[in-house]
A and B are shown apart, each in its own frame.
Chain A
Amino acid sequence: MTLYLMCFALLLIGIYGIIVKRDLVKIIIASGIMGYASNLLLILFAYRKGGIYPILEKGKDMTGRVMVDPLPQALVLTSIVIELGITAMLIALAIRIFEKYKTFDITKIRRLKG
């Protein structure tokens, strides 16, 4: 419960950063933080008290050993890759914006109305 709430707070900090910050690099960082929080939340949901990692080992008797939920780990593996993809695209966009406007400040990048 405490952990869930702390993780949720991390998510909200990320959203706060995206909405309030005016610097493109800071916005990219904030979106990264949001990604960490959602991944961590999934893995927190998967943990079992006293569980071990879901990998079988040769020669060890696995009967009676509790394993954590492997499915969210598979999902998060996908989600991390997606995070990396969005980071790469945002960086590429930010570089081009810098090339065009010579600034990272979002208040000075306001050619579009509305």
Chain B
Amino acid sequence: MPVETWLIFIVGFMLIGSIAALEMKDLLSAIIAVGIVGLGVSMAFLLLQAPDLAIVQFLFEIFSVVIIVRAFLKKDYHSEGEGQRNRLLGGITVLTLIAVFLLSIRLFKALPPFGKPLMTTARYYLENCASQTHAANIVSSIVLDYRGYDTLGEVTVLFTAILGALTIIRLKSKRKTEGEGQS
């Protein structure tokens, strides 16, 4: 089977998985379903010849499932039935999104077809990477050398996110008692 068929199979599987994850009433099943979708992304990366990403996606998937389960599972959780207002909102949203989807067909026709990217910039990396950076992994050399500034930004994003999460979790505010009184 060609790669494309496999990919259609995997992405279709992911579509079903994500709908299941959103619609399931049970929280643990939903988290597991979205975990499976993430592993599907990892598989798709592998098929699309991106092993770096497959590894990172796989690991981050494990990591985020662990923290989501750890954070949420022991809460006394009740899922609620869908209300009336919700159904109206849902209907409007679905119609709008279907319209966007149909419009997007024109866009994807105008883009280069699957399997034939333009490669004008990328060709330079493929040809010159080994001689210029002496790194065998071209993705690594782009991430850390040609576009190292992006990675500095990425490291900062992670630092900000972690600092932010710690601030949100462990902040002992002077106003805390007052806030508690209100809730």
Contact = CB atoms under 8 A, between A and B. Distances in A.
Interface in B90-112: 90, 93-94, 97, 100-101, 104-105, 108-109, 111-112
B126 A40 contact: no
Nearest to A7: B11
Sort chain B's interface into a size bin: 35 or more
Contact of B169 (A58, A78, A96): A96
B38 A32 contact: yes
Interface residues of A, number: 79
A89 B168 contact: yes
B93 A20 contact: yes
Contacts of A49: 115-116
B95 to A, nearest CB: 11
B104 A5 contact: yes
B44 A94 contact: no
B154 A78 contact: yes
Given A32-B64, A80-B53, A101-B183, A70 B22 contact: no
A25 B165 CA distance: 16
Nearest to B118: A69
A9 B81 CA distance: 26
B89 A14 contact: no
Contacts of B147: 74
Given A3-B11, A89-B164, A36 B117 contact: no
Interface in B110-125: 111-117, 119, 121-122, 125
B183 A81 contact: no
Interface of B: 3-4, 7-8, 11-12, 14-15, 18-19, 21-22, 27, 30-31, 34, 37-38, 41, 44-45, 48-53, 56-57, 60, 63-64, 67-68, 71-72, 75, 77, 79-80, 82-83, 86, 89-90, 93-94, 97, 100-101, 104-105, 108-109, 111-117, 119, 121-122, 125-126, 129-130, 136-139, 142-143, 147, 150-151, 153-154, 157-158, 160-162, 164-165, 168-169, 179, 183
Interface of A: 1-10, 12-17, 19-23, 25-26, 28-30, 32-33, 36, 39-40, 43-49, 51-58, 67-71, 73-78, 80-89, 91-96, 98, 100-101, 104-105, 107
Given A84-B64, A91-B72, A96-B168, 7 more contacts: A4-B111, A6-B15, A10-B14, A43-B44, A53-B51, A68-B49, A91-B165
